[in-house]
Amino acid sequence: MLRYALRRLSFLPIILIAVSIFTFVLLRVLPTGDIADVIGGSNATAEQKDRIRDRYGLNDPIFPVTFGGSTVVQFHRHSQYSDWLLDAARLDFGKTYTNEESVLTVWKRGFMPSFQLVAMSLAFSVFIGVSFGILSAMYRNALIDYIVRIFAVLGTSIPEFFLLTLLIIIPSYLWNYAMPSGGYVPLWEDPARNLRLFLPASIILGIGGSSGLMRLVRTTMLEVLRSDYVRTAKAKGLQQRTVILTHALRNAATPILTAVGSAFITVFGGSVIAEKILSIRGNGLFFFTSTFSRDLPVIQFLAIYTAGVVVLVNLIVDLSYAWADPRVKYS
């Protein structure tokens, strides 16, 4: 398994470089206006804009090798991408255009709020999806089965931003309760204030991520519950709880783990919307505001960071197959 994991991790730098090249080109080719206009403002003179471009290296060619001109191939000592790549290798991802602060410093400051929101949302997603999916399979075509299936369809159909908006409007309209917004207090410093901010949003994001998981768990468990070994375990007089958790769920774990990985991606993307609506100062809000202000170093870094997280999560899911099913061998 270790060899398999190392082989998979060896592809991570290649993937990150490919993502960085794609993002680098896309941010500079799309017709979204001049960066100097965004940084300098509408009142900036042409000379001020030129100084801004020189300061951030925007006048340099994008890549060290270009094609065309008087010669077919041209090599450049300095280019935007090569300079950025050399700095990134030293963990220097540049400074933000807005306040000249290190991108890595701002990311570290917003990591814990985003991590807590994603972790709590994923926990709710797995708990709701697995538990209600098992109940739906155990009581097929019963009232609880229909309720779970309707709940799953609604969770998939209703956008998360709509539910998060209702989370602010309904309590304030009915009970004059204002949802806390903005700022971040660690859980160990003020648990009540922290949970007031994160718990409702985590439940809503968890519901969105659990919808597909519930349906998959139900379908997989129905197939497993019809198996001969499950009927044999019931015939031996084992308790239903033991049959479900020990025999059925363990053999249905492989597709469920795949769905958990997909639920993580759903929650990870939905956290950006939640942080924006509730003004949680995490990396999601950092990415959202940087996109509108065209803060290229921030967008570049967060795109690579997101790609790395997705690759690592997929690797963890693949490795967990061997833990869930002893028949799976990585050699």
Domains of the chain as residue ranges with CATH: 103-324 (1.10.3720.10)
Q: How far apart are CA 186 and CA 205, in angstroms?
A: 20
**What integer pLDDT is reported at residue 153 of this predicted model?**
82
pLDDT classification of 302: cutoffs 50, 70, 90: confident
pLDDT classification of 54: cutoffs 50, 70, 90: confident
**What integer pLDDT is reported at residue 22 of this predicted model?**
85
Q: How far apart are CA 278 and CA 280, in angstroms?
A: 6
Q: What is the DSSP letter of 148?
A: H
Q: How far apart are CA 240 and CA 237, in angstroms?
A: 9
Task: Note the pLDDT tens digit of each residue in 6-17.
Answer: 777 777 888 888
Residue 226 in this model has a pLDDT that exceeds 80:
no
Task: Note the pLDDT tens digit of each residue in 142-190.
Answer: 888 888 888 888 877 777 777 777 777 777 777 776 666 666 777 777 7
Task: Note the pLDDT tens digit of each residue in 105-124.
Answer: 888 888 888 888 888 888 88
Residue 40 in this model has a pLDDT that exceeds 70:
no
What does the buried/exposed string (b/e) look like for 214-231 if buried means 16 or more CB atoms within 10 Å of the residue's CB? bbbbbebbbebbeeeebe
Q: How far apart are CA 248 and CA 226, in angstroms?
A: 10
Q: Report residue 298: phi and psi, to 5°.
A: -70, -50
**What integer pLDDT is reported at residue 322 of this predicted model?**
72
Closest by CA to 185, choosing from 268, 273, 280, is 280
Residue 134 in this model has a pLDDT that exceeds 80:
yes
| Tokens of residue 247, six digits | 């025999």
